[in-house]
Amino acid sequence: MVKDFNFNSLHVPVRPFIIYLGDNAWGGTLLIRTQPGKTRQALDGLAALWKQMNPKFPFTYQFSDEEYDKMYKSEQMAGRLSNCFAALAIVISCLGLLGLAMFTAQQRIKEIGIRKVLGASVGSLFSLLSSEFLVLVIIALVIALPVSWYAMNSWLQDFAYRTSLQWWMFALSGMIIILIAMVTVSFKCVQAALANPVKSLRTE
């Protein structure tokens, strides 16, 4: 008997496992470790030895890393799909924020012009315009973070051995989201704050 080790997917806990070798042992799998870069030579030597010892049966083999990789194909596919959908969602959200920033700046163009005439600085105008979007992003985070925590925690429950979710993971994600949102709307907000107030207040 040997110490417990994972011989199945991490979705299931370690189970009792006995490796038995004896004179009357039948069937089974032989595990062989090869030196790096000499896998092909090792396979050729094993094939020749197999043909010599047991010529009536074909020589078959599998690589351990590939077999373990197959156990997590669904997780890898889900990870790639999640990355693609996340990138697509970020792009769509940024386009939506940019469009909303352009619309808001256009709607408040006269207000911005009056504030500039009365001495408002570019920084204060930028804060005025961007604060509205910051509030919206924070509200979205308040809704999304608990949902994402619940979804991730439910997914991790499928594994017998799993990591734990830490608060800083969600805090870092929230900070990155806020940064992306502010970078997205900053261009239009700064442009509106730098606009000539004479043109903004001109009667159409």
**What pLDDT digit, counting tens, does each position of 3-46 carry?**
677 777 777 888 877 766 666 656 667 778 888 888 888 888 88
**Does one domain contain both 192 and 95?**
yes
Residue 72 is classified by DSSP as: T
Spatial distance between the Cα atoms of 31 and 47, rounded to a whole number of angstroms = 14
Flag whether pLDDT at 70 surpasses 60: yes
Per-residue pLDDT at 84: 94
**Does one domain contain both 90 and 180?**
yes
Residue ending a domain, among 31, 53, 71, is 71
Per-residue pLDDT at 25: 58
Per-residue pLDDT at 81: 92
Percentage of the chain exceeding pLDDT 70: 89
Per-residue pLDDT at 88: 94
Could you please report the per-residue DSSP string of 15-65? --------TT--S--------TT-HHHHHHHHHHHHHHH-TTS------HH
For residue 203, what pLDDT band results from cuts at 50, 70 and 90? very low
Residue ending a domain, among 17, 40, 71, is 71
Flag whether pLDDT at 90 surpasses 80: yes
Flag whether pLDDT at 178 surpasses 70: yes
Q: Helix, strand, coil proportions of the chain in percent (round to 5)?
A: 65, 0, 35
- Closest C-alpha to 31, from 65, 64, 79: 64
What count of Cα atoms within 13 Å lies in the side-chain half-sphere of residue 131? Answer: 6
Mean pLDDT of the chain: 81
pTM for this one?
A: 0.65
Q: At which residue do the structure tokens 């039948």 appear?
A: 26
3-class SS letters over 137-158: HHHHHHHHHHHHHHHHHHHHCC
> Beta-carbon neighbour count of residue 37 at 10 Å?
7
Per-residue pLDDT at 143: 93
Indicate the number of domains in the chain: 2
**Does one domain contain both 104 and 178?**
yes
Chain segment 106-163, per-residue pLDDT in tens:
787 777 778 777 777 777 877 877 888 888 889 989 999 999 999 889 888 888 888 8
**Does one domain contain both 29 and 66?**
yes
Q: Are 193 and 145 in contact (CB under 8 A)?
A: no
**Does one domain contain both 62 and 92?**
no
Residue ending a domain, among 53, 71, 89, is 71
Per-residue pLDDT at 24: 63
Spatial distance between the Cα atoms of 110 and 118, rounded to a whole number of angstroms = 12
Residues, the chain, total?
A: 204
What count of Cα atoms within 13 Å lies in the side-chain half-sphere of residue 152? Answer: 16
Spatial distance between the Cα atoms of 68 and 170, rounded to a whole number of angstroms = 30
**Does one domain contain both 20 and 38?**
yes
Flag whether pLDDT at 99 surpasses 80: yes
| Helix orientation angle between 73-107 and 109-117, rounded to the nearest 10 degrees | 60
**What's the token pair of residue 119?**
């001495």
Per-residue pLDDT at 2: 62
Domain span holding position 179 = 73-201
Amino acid at 135: V
Flag whether pLDDT at 194 surpasses 80: no
